[in-house]
């Protein structure tokens, strides 16, 4: 196993429940399954870039909407 670092992330309750259930059913630790999922997803650079663009757009639109509400539009 490579060197590892401990990082705390906030995960939606529904995602946590699903990962926990899958880990238990397959006799894995949650962190082992989460690492495997992340590693597999990050191998596909194109998929990762698409996800990042989508998230940036969502954040941009959310921030724009919040600013307009504050201005009273």
Over the stretch 18-55, which tens digit does the pLDDT of each residue have? 999 999 999 999 999 999 999 999 999 999 999 999 99
Choice between 48 and 66, residue whose per-residue pLDDT is larger: 48
Token pair belonging to 57: 């757009």
Q: Show the beta-strand stretches assigned E in the chain.
A: none
Residue spans per domain, the chain: 13-71
pLDDT-derived band at 64 (thresholds 50, 70, 90) equals confident
pTM of this structure: 0.68
d(CA 15, CA 32): 15
d(CA 59, CA 14): 21
């Amino acid at each position: 196993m490579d060197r590892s670092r401990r990082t705390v992330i906030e995960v939606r309750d529904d995602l946590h429940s699903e990962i926990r259930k899958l880990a238990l059913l397959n006799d894995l630790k949650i962190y082992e399954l989460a690492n495997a999922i992340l590693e597999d997803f990050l191998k596909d650079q194109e998929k990762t870039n698409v996800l990042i663009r989508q998230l940036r757009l969502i954040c941009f639109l959310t921030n724009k909407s919040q600013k307009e509400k504050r201005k009273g539009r």
